[in-house]
Amino acid sequence: MATVTPEASLNALPRADGSARYSYAGYTVTASVNGPIEAQRRDEHAYEAHVDVIVRPSAGVGGTRERHLEFILQSSLSQIILVKNFPRSVIQIVLQVESTPENAYVNTKLVQASLNLPIIPALFQTAVLALLSAAVPMKATATSTVVAVVSDDGSKKIVADPSPQDIREATSLHVLAFTSHDELLLSESEGDFTVKEWDGVYENAQKICCQTASKQDGIDMVLDDDASSPDMRHFLRSTLETKVASDLHWK
Amino acid sequence: MPREAEPSANEKAFLLKALQDEQIRLDGREFDQYRPLELTFGDEYGVANVSLGKTKILAKASAEVTVPFADRPLDGIFTIATELSPMAAPHFEVNRPTETEVLLSRLLEKTVRRSGALDTESLCLVAGQKCWSVRVDVHVLSHDGNLTDAACFAVVAALRHFRKPDTSMENGVLTVYTPAEREPVPLGWLHSPFCVTWSFFGEEGETALLDADWMEEQVRVASVTISLNRHGEICQIAKLGGVPVEAVALLQCTSVALTKVKEFSTYLDDKLAEDAKRRDKGGFMAELRAENDRIVG
């Protein structure tokens, strides 16, 4: 039962500085952020904060795959967090995967060492939401999406938010993230593709991630051309607006 | 990682004075009252989300086919993994088990595994060659005291909700069916044990509280965890250190624990029935079911 539109709730965990729960396209991730907190000797950096990302799978112990995801997220999140403001401290982001899309036609194996690109947008989005809820200073917010190139009778087709079935048939898979200044923040690809295909993927992903930037006057206008891909930036904004409105309810 | 801030002397004194002189708990609960317990199941089988006040736990059961241990060729493998992440509280570290974590996993082990709640012999597929390995991962999302009771409830709920893929054996060939081919089957479940933790306060442990929250846990002088099922069969009693408690008081604690366990048990049964109704495809699928009804006690 995959959710059609992304859903998120903020500050679900009372003990963390900030937290978020995000579910979209069959993935559900909970994130908590603590920071800036005291750093241990090995993580301490004299000029900037260390961003500590921990990814925990829903079943089994984390392995190389989780370390790889942590590395990708850590390097891109350190770009947007103002790490220079907090020397000698740690910003700790824990991402707990709760559920992943099911495939009724395959029995899942517990230990899979393979690359797992499709989960990155969910992890990334949850981390950004949790960082915002923890009020960690950032240069910009960011949105992320996954795009697959599926060959359809000789012609190549670009599918945003592919299903597990699409992913299996895809010739290449791309994860892109953009900051709120429309800058490319993260690009990870897997499979065979040409430069031209990648350009198409880039355009498509940018449309999903950066739509509202040009249409700030009317929220209703966003849903005009293709309803298939949700507008991530608008989603991020509306989630936080709801949160702020409920926080300032007492005024 | 940063050390957890201990409650100040004032906070401790306030809590103790309220308890002993006024017979009032800080959150206004009765001494033998649990915080509101809530259980929700995920979309998948075997995912239980439990919240006990501000303590939140996610348990997920999963199964895969492996080779059984050489010394136990007729038994399947059943493990409970409890790893506290910094999500629960920032002072927990990854890959460095704290005392809380070790105690929690040992208590769950004793309560659920060693009491034979799961029939491990039914997990055997081919003697000495193939068996199911059932694993429950306990994820503590938020730690506000009484992890043991909440985690135990979550583990039992997840396992009773869980369905493993159906299998068949033909001419020595083992087939594991996908959920699309055959409805997954529930585990062989024998009884449902639950933990009930009492905390003792005062110099001789004269005040006993049920379901202490994190603040109360830091101030208590002793605690005892009693695991039992709804029939009053005690699986274990763990009293790890602390001040000595009188035997009569312990007996009283056990009898109250039994009533609480009956409440848990009924609550879980209701929730499972509710979830089954929600998932029930009815009609033809019900007719095609291969498994026998099992009486769960």
Please give the full DSSP string across chain B, using - where no structure is assigned.
-PPPPPPPHHHHHHHHHHHHHS---TT---TT-PPPEEEEE-SSTTEEEEEETTEEEEEEEEEEEEPPPTT-TT--EEEEEE---TTT-TT-BTTB--HHHHHHHHHHIIIIITTT-B-GGGGEEETTTEEEEEEEEEEEEE--S-HHHHHHHHHHHHHHH-EEPPEEEETTEEEE--TTTS--EE--B----EEEEEEEESTT--EEEES--HHHHHH-SEEEEEEE-TT--EEEEE--SSS---HHHHHHHHHHHHHHHHHHHHHHHHHHHHHHHHH---HHHHHT--SPP----
Residues in contact with B146: Cβ distance below 8 Å, sequence separation at least 6, in sequence order: B52, B55, B197, B211, B212, B213, B217
Q: Provide the domain count of chain B.
A: 1
Q: Tell me, what amino acid is at B26?
A: L
- b/e burial code for range A10-38 (CB count within 10 A of at least 16 → b): bbbbebbbbbbbbbbbbbbbbbbbbbbbe
Q: Residues A48-73: what's their mean pLDDT?
A: 91
The confidence score (pLDDT) of residue B139 equals 94
Question: Is B2 part of any domain?
Answer: no
Separation CA A150–CA A147 (nearest Å): 10
Separation CA B149–CA B151 (nearest Å): 6
Residues in contact with A10: Cβ distance below 8 Å, sequence separation at least 6, in sequence order: A18, A19, A20, A129, A130, A132, A133, A239, A240, A243
Place of tokens 């995912």: B47
Q: How far is A132 from chain B (nearest CA, A)?
A: 16
The confidence score (pLDDT) of residue B97 equals 82
Q: Is the pLDDT of residue A215 over 60?
A: no
The confidence score (pLDDT) of residue A220 equals 43
pLDDT band, residue A94 (cuts 50/70/90): very high
- Please indicate whether, in this complex, the C-beta atoms of A54 and B86 are within 8 angstroms of each other: yes
- Please indicate whether, in this complex, the C-beta atoms of B137 and A34 are within 8 angstroms of each other: no
Residue of B nearest to A40 (CA): B1
Report pTM.
0.90
Question: Is B6 part of any domain?
Answer: no
Nearest CB neighbour to A105, from listed B2, B81, B180: B180
Q: Is the pLDDT of residue A109 over 80?
A: no
Q: What is the pLDDT along chain B (297 residues), one digit of tens a residue?
A: 667 788 999 999 999 999 999 999 999 999 999 999 999 998 889 999 999 999 999 999 999 899 999 999 999 999 999 988 889 888 888 878 888 889 999 999 999 999 999 999 999 999 889 999 999 999 999 999 999 999 999 999 999 999 999 999 888 888 888 888 888 999 999 999 999 999 999 888 889 999 999 999 999 999 999 999 999 999 999 998 889 999 999 999 999 999 999 999 999 999 999 999 888 766 566 666 666 666 655
Judged by DSSP in three states, A181 sits in: coil
Q: What is the interface pTM, i.e. ipTM, of the complex?
A: 0.85
Q: Residues A19-31: what's their mean pLDDT?
A: 92
Please give the full DSSP string across B162-196, using - where no structure is assigned.
-EEPPEEEETTEEEE--TTTS--EE--B----EEE
The confidence score (pLDDT) of residue B297 equals 55
Separation CA B157–CA B179 (nearest Å): 21
Best CA proximity match to B105, nearest among B94, B117, B114, B93: B114
The confidence score (pLDDT) of residue A225 equals 43
- Please indicate whether, in this complex, the C-beta atoms of A58 and B137 are within 8 angstroms of each other: yes
Whole-number average pLDDT of chain A? 85
Q: How far is B179 from chain A (nearest CA, A)?
A: 5
Nearest CB neighbour to B54, from listed A14, A37, A107: A14
For A7-244, give the CATH class.
Answer: alpha beta
Q: Which structural domain, as residue segments, surrounds residue B154?
A: 11-296
Q: Residues A232-243: what's their mean pLDDT?
A: 89
The confidence score (pLDDT) of residue A61 equals 82
Instruction: Specify the CATH number for the domain of residue B57.
Output: 3.30.230.70
Separation CA B185–CA B164 (nearest Å): 5
Q: Residues A129-147: what's their mean pLDDT?
A: 93
Question: Is B211 part of any domain?
Answer: yes
Separation CA B195–CA B228 (nearest Å): 7
The confidence score (pLDDT) of residue B242 equals 87
Q: Is the pLDDT of residue A226 over 60?
A: no
